[in-house]
Structure 1
Amino acid sequence: MKRRNLFVVTTLSAMLMVGMSACSQSSEEDAANQPESDAVSVDSSADSTTASDANEKDQSKETSVESSTPEQDDPVTKVEGKQTYIEKLDNIQKELDAMPDKKDSDKGVTNAMKNYYGVSYEKYDDALNEIYALLKKELSPEVMAELKTEQLQWIEKKEEKAEKERLKYEGGTFENVAWYISLYESTKDRCYELVKEYMRN
């Protein structure tokens, strides 16, 4: 009986130890597996954070691109006031035509022609400066840079043309008249060109 009890106790002890050892292994395995699952969840949350950050960055880029796109795609190429400036230019000519020197100028009186075309050139030159200043203020920088280059080329051609006209009459009484007529005509034409090309109603 004592032997049987001893056998049972020994067997139970052995089973208990095997069970405990199995439990401890299983808890060790659980512990070993636990950091991996945590790591996966941390990594996946890091991925989701990175993905959401990337989406926010992409959206902010899209927003900034959208906000800057209108300027790039649609530079200001025309300004308001076309009709107003055409009327202003037409009125300059009406004022000039009402000058006392106009009648004598039409008759070919040299002094009257010199005075009339000298004043006419100055009036349209002032108008041209006013138009150019408005365009410089309102047009987009890219368009204005092109216009500036074009305007400098135009000034050079205008002066060359006037000089050629003057030289035709060099030494004569009509020399300065020819020069002023050329300057007046070129400048008047340029005023209308700028208004028609760079302005809208």
Structure 2
Amino acid sequence: MVQVVDVPLRGSVKTGNLGYYQVYQNGTYEEFHPSVDTNNINTAGKEEYLKRLNGMEEADRNAEVKSTTQDMIDQEDERYKKWDAVLNEIYNALQEQLPADEMDKLREGQRNWIRNRDTQAEEASLKYEGGTLQPLEAIATKATITKERCYELVASYMK
């Protein structure tokens, strides 16, 4: 049996979350990367992805609240990377599922979405312009918009 847990570890100077780890019953653990096996990417369907996305969102809600701005930025950066990795997996799965003409439309839409996401993140961060919270707001906004895009692609395109 494998259980995925968040293990806080001591970093070089600060205490912080260095990622997710698979912890085994015998007490050993190894780093966990929130990505599906590329051999199974095309076999996962809409229901499987929705379950996975819901689990990731639940993990986000239950994550430890950080106390320093830098720790919060690091945490949001990890959250963004996690959601972006899953978004790329979903996109790659859709490349295998969708007809070429539909994929061409999605590809163009995705390019527009990326520009829009980055613009929204920049605009959201301007309320903290020049302050230490500006980069936190930018990365948190990117993470949230990316999470929403994952759900959107699965709901709209996944079979």
Q: Residue type of the partner of 1:131?
A: I
Partner residue, 1:182: 141
Residue 167 of structure 1 pairs with residue 126 of structure 2:
yes
Change beyond 3 A, Cα 1:96–1:80: closer
Residue 192 of structure 1 pairs with residue 156 of structure 2:
no
Shift of 1:104: 2.5
Partner residue, 1:146: 105
Distance 1:80 1:92 in 2: 16
TM-score by length of 1: 0.54
Distance 1:189 1:151 in 2: 13
Shift of 1:98: 4.4
Partner residue, 2:80: 121
Check the 8 A contact 1:80/1:199 in 2, yes or no.
Answer: no
Larger relative contact order (CA 8 Å, sep ≥ 6)? 1
Q: Residue type of the partner of 1:89?
A: L
Across the aligned residues of Structure 1 and Structure 2, the Cα RMSD in angstroms comes to 1.8
Q: Give 1:1-201 correspondences, 5 Å limit.
A: 81-99=45-63, 102-104=64-66, 109-200=68-159
Distance 1:80 1:141 in 2: 20
Larger radius of gyration: 1
Check the 8 A contact 1:158/1:183 in 2, yes or no.
Answer: yes
Shift of 1:142: 0.7
Check the 8 A contact 1:104/1:112 in 2, yes or no.
Answer: yes
Instruction: Structure 1: give runs of 5+ residues left out of the alignment.
Output: 1-78
Change beyond 3 A, Cα 1:112–1:97: farther
Shift of 1:133: 0.4
Check the 8 A contact 1:128/1:187 in 2, yes or no.
Answer: yes
- Count of matched residue pairs: 117
Check the 8 A contact 1:86/1:195 in 2, yes or no.
Answer: yes
Q: Higher strand share goes to which structure? A: 2
Distance 1:116 1:90 in 2: 19
Distance 1:147 1:187 in 2: 15
Distance 1:142 1:156 in 2: 22
Query: Identity percentage over the alignment?
Result: 35
Deviations 1:110-160 (A, max 9, x none): 223212211111100000000000101221001001101111110010000
